[in-house]
């Protein structure tokens, strides 16, 4: 077990978006568990259950729940369960994104309204909805974290439709941070470098992005889900108490390159 420099002892929260052992959600849940947190971990589709169930040991045997953010009854059940178990929440990790393949693989100029709306709904507005339901449970403050990507800020080949969607997500983080800050609720986006996950496999020519990150990032390494998990722990722990509204790059420094 890795030694954690930051403590999450006594903290309780929700980690969403676990699909398999490659998921960023897995790195976050493992790191949060190692720091002492208790969690409910959610997966988005019933078919994922056989992949995620064997992973519970490394996450400290959290409760697993199915939570498709398009199904409000599942979202309600999630927050009801957190309320029953702990009566409070300290953190929530939103680690999910989706865009229909045809829209994702085409030009932004050509994307359909339905595809755009669906991508915004699952990848951006769901964070706002989850935050709204988490707020009353974050009685002593808390931390809300979502996942973004550099394609929000600059044009990255093949990131296409997800660029404007992640830009909206990062802007939402800033507005939510301003609105929830007076209640002690901090809001962040973590922006990792390319990681080989199922979601990433939907990006055309993803391997070129990964190779570029590995060979040109200042630290000459690919980001791992554990790197993202460590950052999530730092942000959610007391060490992050004076930070909010930021988009933090966890990308071996790749974002400083032209």
Distance CA 22, CA 196 (A): 7
Q: Between 19 and 89, whose beta carbon lies closer to ligand NAD?
A: 19
Question: In this chain, which stretch among 68-76, 104-112, 137-145, 238-246 interacts with ligand NAD, using CB under 6 A?
Answer: 68-76
The only residue of 164, 192, 229, 240 in contact with ligand NAD, by rule CB under 6 A: 192
Residue 47 structure tokens: 């078919």
222 in Cβ contact with 252 (< 8 Å): yes
Residue 119 structure tokens: 């991508």
24 counts as binding ligand NAD under rule CB under 6 A: yes
Q: How far is the CB of 191 from ligand NAD (least distance, A)?
A: 6
Distance CA 257, CA 253 (A): 8
Q: How far is the CB of 53 from ligand NAD (least distance, A)?
A: 14
Question: Beta-carbon neighbour count of residue 192 at 10 Å?
Answer: 26
Q: Between 125 and 183, whose beta carbon lies closer to ligand NAD?
A: 125
The only residue of 97, 130, 189, 236 in contact with ligand NAD, by rule CB under 6 A: 97
Hey, is 116 helix, strand or coil?
Answer: helix
Please provide the size of the chain in residues: 258
Is 249 designated active site? no
The only residue of 62, 142, 194, 240 in contact with ligand NAD, by rule CB under 6 A: 194
Distances (CA, A) of 66 to 17, 135, 139: 10, 21, 25
68 counts as binding ligand NAD under rule CB under 6 A: yes
Distance CA 36, CA 188 (A): 21
17 counts as binding ligand NAD under rule CB under 6 A: yes
69 counts as binding ligand NAD under rule CB under 6 A: yes
Residue 219 structure tokens: 């630290």
Distance CA 92, CA 29 (A): 11
Distance CA 214, CA 103 (A): 28
Hey, is 175 helix, strand or coil?
Answer: helix
178 counts as binding ligand NAD under rule CB under 6 A: no
Within residues 200-239, the interface with ligand NAD by CB under 6 A covers 200
142 counts as binding ligand NAD under rule CB under 6 A: no
199 counts as binding ligand NAD under rule CB under 6 A: yes
Nearest to 95 by CA among 30, 44, 153: 44
The only residue of 4, 8, 14, 23 in contact with ligand NAD, by rule CB under 6 A: 23
44 counts as binding ligand NAD under rule CB under 6 A: yes
Residue 79 structure tokens: 């927050």
Is 159 designated active site? yes
The size of the interface with ligand NAD (CB under 6 A), counted in residues, is: 28
Binding site for ligand NAD (CB under 6 A): 17-19, 22-25, 43-45, 48, 68-70, 95-98, 122, 147, 149, 192, 194-195, 197-200
- Which are the catalytic amino acids? 149, 159
């Amino acid at each position: 077990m890795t030694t954690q420099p930051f403590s999450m002892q006594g903290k309780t929260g929700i980690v969403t978006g676990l699909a398999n052992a490659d998921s960023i959600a897995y790195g976050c849940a493992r790191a949060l568990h190692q720091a002492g947190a208790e969690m409910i971990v959610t997966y988005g589709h019933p078919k994922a259950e056989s992949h995620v169930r064997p992973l519970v040991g490394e996450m400290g045997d959290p409760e697993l729940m199915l939570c498709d953010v398009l199904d409000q009854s599942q979202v309600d059940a999630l927050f009801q369960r957190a309320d029953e178990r702990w009566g409070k929440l300290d953190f929530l990790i939103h680690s999910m994104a989706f865009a229909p393949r045809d829209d994702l693989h085409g030009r932004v100029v050509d994307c359909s309204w339905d595809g755009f709306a669906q991508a915004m709904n699952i990848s951006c507005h769901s964070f706002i909805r989850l935050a709204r339901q988490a707020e009353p449970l974050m009685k002593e403050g808390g931390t809300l974290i979502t996942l973004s990507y550099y394609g929000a800020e600059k044009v990255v080949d093949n990131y296409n439709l997800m660029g404007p969607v992640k830009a909206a997500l990062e802007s939402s983080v800033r507005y939510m941070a301003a609105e929830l800050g007076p209640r002690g609720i901090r809001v962040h986006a973590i922006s990792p470098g390319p990681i080989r996950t199922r979601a990433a496999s939907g990006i055309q020519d993803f391997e070129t992005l990964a190779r570029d990150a590995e060979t040109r990032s200042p630290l000459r390494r690919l980001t791992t889900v554990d790197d993202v998990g460590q950052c999530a722990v730092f942000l959610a722990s007391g060490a992050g108490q004076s930070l909010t509204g930021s988009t933090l790059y966890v990308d071996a420094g790749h974002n400083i390159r032209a």
